[in-house]
C-alpha cells in the first residue's frame, strides 16, 4: 500500500510538472517540445521543437515551481532549423579550447553533477531519507544511505540543498522538519560536502497522501538536491 500511495502521488506530481512546463514553453512561443518527468527531474527534447530562438530553455524550465533538474536535449537540431542556434554553437566550440586549460575541471563538473542527482535519488530510494514518527534522528540504515550519497557527491565536489518534511499531523511541523534537514546536513558536512541550505518546510510538498497512514509514513523524510 505504501508503494501504491507513493506511485500515485509521484504520478500526479509528474503530470502537474509536465503540464506547467509545457505551458511555460508555449508562453515563450516554443512548440513541439517533448517534455517528460521522473519525479521532479525533467527532460526536454527540442529535436522537433520550433520557436526556440535565443530562449534559455534550461533556465526557463528550472524556473517552473517544483522542478529540481532540467536536462535539455536536441539543441543542435533546433539550431540547424532556425540558424540562430547554429551560430551560437559554432561560437561556443571555438571558445572551448581556450577555456579548458584554465578551468577544464570546472567545465567538466557541471554535467557530472547534473547526472549525479539521479544517482543520489537511486541511492536514497523512493522514500528519500526516511524518519520515524516524531523523530529527527537518523536511524542506522538511513545514516548509511546518507554516507553513501556523501561519497558520490565528493567525487565531483558538488554542493547540495537539504529539505526536511513532515506529515500533516506533526505538531509543530516546522521545527521537526528543520531538525530532519539539520540531521542530514550534519552527516554530509562531516564527510566534507558543502551544504548550501538546510531548510524545514513542514507538511508542504508531500510525496504521499496524508489522509492515510501509508501516505503519512512516506511524508516523514528529507531530500537532497544537487546544486
Residues recorded for the chain: 227
> Which grid coordinates are listed for 84?
540562430
Contact status, residue 33 vs residue 25, Cβ threshold 8 Å: yes
Do 14 and 66 contact (CB within 8 A), yes or no? Answer: no
Q: Which long-range contacts (CB under 8 A, 24 or more apart) does 10-15 make?
A: 10/39, 10/126, 10/207, 13/37, 13/39, 13/40, 13/66, 13/207, 14/38, 14/39
C-alpha cell at 25: 514553453
Give me the pLDDT at residue 102, please: 36
Q: Name residues of the chain where pLDDT drops below 70.
A: 1-11, 54, 75-114
pLDDT of residue 11: 63
Q: Cβ contacts of residue 148 below 8 Å, gap of 6+?
A: 123
In angstroms, the CA 42 to CA 69 distance is 6
What is the structure's pLDDT at 173? 75
Amino acid at each position: 500500500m505504501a508503494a501504491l500511495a507513493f506511485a500515485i502521488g509521484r504520478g500526479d506530481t509528474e503530470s502537474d510538472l509536465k503540464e506547467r512546463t509545457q505551458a511555460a514553453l508555449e508562453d515563450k512561443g516554443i512548440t513541439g517540445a517533448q517534455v517528460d518527468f521522473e519525479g521532479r527531474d525533467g527532460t526536454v527534447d527540442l529535436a522537433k521543437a520550433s520557436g526556440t530562438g535565443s530562449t534559455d530553455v534550461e533556465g526557463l524550465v528550472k524556473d517552473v515551481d517544483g522542478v529540481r533538474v532540467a536536462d535539455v536535449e536536441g539543441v543542435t537540431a533546433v539550431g540547424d532549423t532556425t540558424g540562430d542556434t547554429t551560430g551560437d554553437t559554432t561560437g561556443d566550440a571555438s571558445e572551448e579550447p581556450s577555456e579548458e586549460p584554465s578551468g577544464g575541471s570546472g567545465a567538466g563538473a557541471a554535467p557530472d553533477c547534473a547526472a549525479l542527482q539521479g544517482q543520489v535519488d537511486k541511492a536514497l530510494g523512493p522514500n528519500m531519507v526516511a524518519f520515524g514518527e516524531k523523530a529527527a534522528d537518523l536511524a542506522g540504515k538511513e545514516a548509511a544511505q546518507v554516507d553513501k550519497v556523501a561519497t558520490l557527491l565528493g567525487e565531483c565536489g558538488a554542493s547540495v540543498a537539504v529539505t526536511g518534511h513532515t506529515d500533516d499531523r506533526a505538531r509543530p511541523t516546522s521545527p521537526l522538519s528543520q531538525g530532519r534537514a539539520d540531521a542530514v546536513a550534519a552527516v554530509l558536512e562531516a564527510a566534507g560536502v558543502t551544504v548550501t541550505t538546510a531548510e524545514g518546510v513542514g507538511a508542504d510538498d508531500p510525496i504521499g497522501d496524508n489522509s492515510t497512514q501509508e501516505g503519512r509514513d512516506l511524508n516523514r523524510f528529507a531530500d537532497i538536491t544537487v546544486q
